[in-house]
């Protein structure tokens, strides 16, 4: 066996191919810079959070604070929207499927539309609007007030204290709010149908129909969707703040962060739906 390194010389034809390919790569990368950074940051957040060493007291403190903020800030809005969806969708589905004599399809309909699609997107939008914007406001002055520099001067890695706890806290908040959303929607829709005598079965039979309609993949995809959406909302807000120009207007930053967050929610939800 020899240690000889293969020669890196190439023919002029290969070199001629490389330049346009490099140009294509460069232009795609510049356009996808934010997306690539977002993916790297999110993957880094997950990887780092698995190491107990990353969870120093300061990171735990910030995690608890952000989790409280994300849950507390979005819980009322989530319950309110879930109540509206319960009335506007679950009750209507129960009513019209009964009129059509298709009560047996109720579970399939609710799982396919509500649990797989609507809940992750609506909860994501609520979380983004209520807590993501608040977080962007918090982090928007990182550059202008030299807060990043102050952290580094104290030997504190901004990733460990600003990015990782936020990403994980938003992921858990999103999952929790998703579960709350689905429960409230079902309870409100069924309660209204019971009060108006549209349904004669018990709540447990209703839940049983839902469970029977739920495919094994749904038990994986729903949590993954909620966790991924929360993580991406947190990462998007952090990245938007970190990429901000010095002295950039907070209002512009929030609107940019909101659009990016919306894209992240839609893409994640769509891609994971394709997985089923």
Q: Closest approach of Cβ 159 to another protein, in Å?
A: 11
- Which residue, 26 or 146, has its beta carbon nearer to another protein? 146
* Contact present, 21 and 230 (Cβ < 8 Å): no
57 makes contact with another protein (CB under 8 A): yes
- Which residue, 48 or 94, has its beta carbon nearer to another protein? 48
Widest distance between CA atoms in the chain: 84
Q: How far apart are CA 178 and CA 123, in angstroms?
A: 6
248 makes contact with another protein (CB under 8 A): no
CB atoms within 10 A of CB 3: 4
212 makes contact with another protein (CB under 8 A): no
Restricting to residues 136-165, name those near another protein by CB under 8 A: 138, 141, 145-157, 161
- Which residue, 55 or 95, has its beta carbon nearer to another protein? 55
Restricting to residues 88-147, name those near another protein by CB under 8 A: 138, 141, 145-147
Q: Closest approach of Cβ 60 to another protein, in Å?
A: 9
Residues found in the chain: 276
Q: How far apart are CA 62 and CA 158, in angstroms?
A: 12
Q: What angle do CA 77, 34, 247 make, to 5 degrees?
A: 80
**Residue-wise burial string across 112-140, b where 16 or more C-beta atoms lie within 10 A, e elsewhere:** bebbbebbbbbbbbbbbbbbbbbbbbebb
- Which residue, 59 or 128, has its beta carbon nearer to another protein? 59
- Which residue, 35 or 151, has its beta carbon nearer to another protein? 151
Restricting to residues 62-81, name those near another protein by CB under 8 A: 65
Q: Closest approach of Cβ 190 to another protein, in Å?
A: 41
Q: How far apart are CA 247 and CA 94, in angstroms?
A: 53
Kindly list the residues in this chain that would bind another protein in the complex (CB under 8 A). Answer: 56-58, 61, 65, 138, 141, 145-157, 161
């Amino acid at each position: 066996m020899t240690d000889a390194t293969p020669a890196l010389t190439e023919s002029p034809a290969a070199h001629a191919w490389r330049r346009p390919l490099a140009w294509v790569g460069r232009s795609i990368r510049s356009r996808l810079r934010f997306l690539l950074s977002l993916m790297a940051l999110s993957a880094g957040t997950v990887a780092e959070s698995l190491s107990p060493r990353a969870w120093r007291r300061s990171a735990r403190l910030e995690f608890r604070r952000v989790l409280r903020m994300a849950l507390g800030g979005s819980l009322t809005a989530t319950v309110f929207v879930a109540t509206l969806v319960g009335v506007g969708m679950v009750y209507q589905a129960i009513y019209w499927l009964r009129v059509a004599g298709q009560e047996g399809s109720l579970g399939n309909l609710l799982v396919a539309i509500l649990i797989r699609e609507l809940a992750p997107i609506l909860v994501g939008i609520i979380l983004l609007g209520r807590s993501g914007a608040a977080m962007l406001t918090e982090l928007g002055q990182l550059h202008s007030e030299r807060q990043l520099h102050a952290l580094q001067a104290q030997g504190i890695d901004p990733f460990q204290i600003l990015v990782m706890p936020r990403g994980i806290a938003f992921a858990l908040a999103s999952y929790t709010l998703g579960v709350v959303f689905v429960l409230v929607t079902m309870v409100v829709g069924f309660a209204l149908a019971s009060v108006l005598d549209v349904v004669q079965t018990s709540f447990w039979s209703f839940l049983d129909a839902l469970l029977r309609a739920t495919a094994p993949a749904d038990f994986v995809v729903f949590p993954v969707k909620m966790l991924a959406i929360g993580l991406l909302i947190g990462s998007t807000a952090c990245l938007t703040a970190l990429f901000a120009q010095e002295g950039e207007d907070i209002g512009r930053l929030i609107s940019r962060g909101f659009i990016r967050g919306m894209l992240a929610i839609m893409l994640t939800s769509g891609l994971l739906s394709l997985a089923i």
